[in-house]
Amino acid sequence: MSDQGTMGSGITEVCARAGYRVVFREITDDAVEAGMARIKQSMERGVDKGKLAADDRDAALGRISGTTSYDDLKTCDVVIEAVPEKLEMKQDLFRSLDALLPPHAILATNTSSLPVIEMAVQTGRPSRVIGLHFFNPAPVMGLVELVKTVVTDPDALEAASAFARALGKTPVVCQDRAGFIANLLLFPYLNNAVKMLESGFATRADIDAAMVFGCGHPMGRLALLDLIGLDSAFEILDAMYRQFRETVYAPAPLIRQLMTADFLGRKTARGFYSYEEAGSPRVRETGHHGRELPAGAGSHVRRIGVLGSGTMANGIAEVAAKAGYQVVLRARSTQRASESQAKIAKSLGKAVERGKMTQEQLDATLALLETTTEMDALSSCDLLVEGIAEELDL
């Protein structure tokens, strides 16, 4: 391994835990110590969470050694570089490594956006240079992108694929184009979230809440950018824009502005969000960033009317009743009303089976639900929610 930043230390940990002996190289002795400390801290978290046995942690740490000399890498079978996304820096490194390593060794780059072929041609073994792109955090994320160039040897590609599988990762193969697979799909999407924020279309909190609670994603888009690092995000987007010249890849101006202020995300304790300390995932409360509501707003709502009897209308009625509201669901026929009542009861029954609610809570929820075919039954409702078919005339 070359470089023990966030990605380098993560990849070192993955390899050592998979049983490989790992030598990592850093610039100074202090950097070596800092890299080792990051690895130990990460493994300690794994032990604390019950995901790694203490004996396995100790064994993995025993397989790792650090150095400041490239000469200590000369017996390695695979060398993975994880230095910053600067092409000239990577090219210089590959020339140095090529002069040291045995002919059979594979040189891999963890670049997320730069052309692999530009590094491969700096060596005397371009056919054995490959992209091996891990995702952050490397010990957790299961994917590795294998990036082949126009000169990649099929044997080298297969060896790299077998290596990735031995690490417990799922390898996917792609061509040498900026962004590869995942980032080419992901970053225009993240970029659009920033554009929505800077245009005032929605607040930071609402953009992220829409993706977490509306689309079921584990974190919001802006929070994800903070995790990735805004400097890395800018470099990836800029590389894709330079190659494809499509405006969807042009970095949103707000990303550059935050970079200029050194607000790079979690690693500097501030990005789109502020964090308790550098590297911490815990957001520091800095006040309400959504829309302010007057005190007591919404407190008068007690009875909710739902118009419709399809999947969405039934779901809205169920959620409202579970929250303790009286619900009147109006369907267009007696049969549809009965079907809605039965479907909601079935859905609640599944929650009981999964241990997410008790039978008493189910009975209390159904007691709050009333179905009808009469529009007049909605006249006493404090809030009406329309959930009928997407036809404007209706």
Catalytically active residues are 112, 133, 145, 183
- How large is the angle between the packed helices 311-322 and 334-353, nearest 10 degrees? 60
Dmax (CA) for the chain in angstroms is 85
| CA distance linking residue 254 with residue 226, whole number of Å | 13
| CA distance linking residue 296 with residue 299, whole number of Å | 5
User: Residue with structure tokens 């369907």?
Assistant: 331
Closest CA to 111 of 183, 39, 42: 183
Residue 280's contacts (CB-CB under 8 Å, 6 or more residues apart) are 266, 269
User: Residue with structure tokens 């890299």?
Assistant: 35
The answer to whether the bond into 137 is cis (omega within 30° of 0) is yes
Q: Which amino acid is at 222?
A: L
DSSP string covering 95-117, please?
HHHHHHS-TTPEEEE--SSS-HH
Q: Is 380 helix (H, G, I), strand (E, B) or coil?
A: coil
Q: Are 307 and 359 in contact (CB under 8 A)?
A: no
Q: Are 90 and 114 in contact (CB under 8 A)?
A: yes
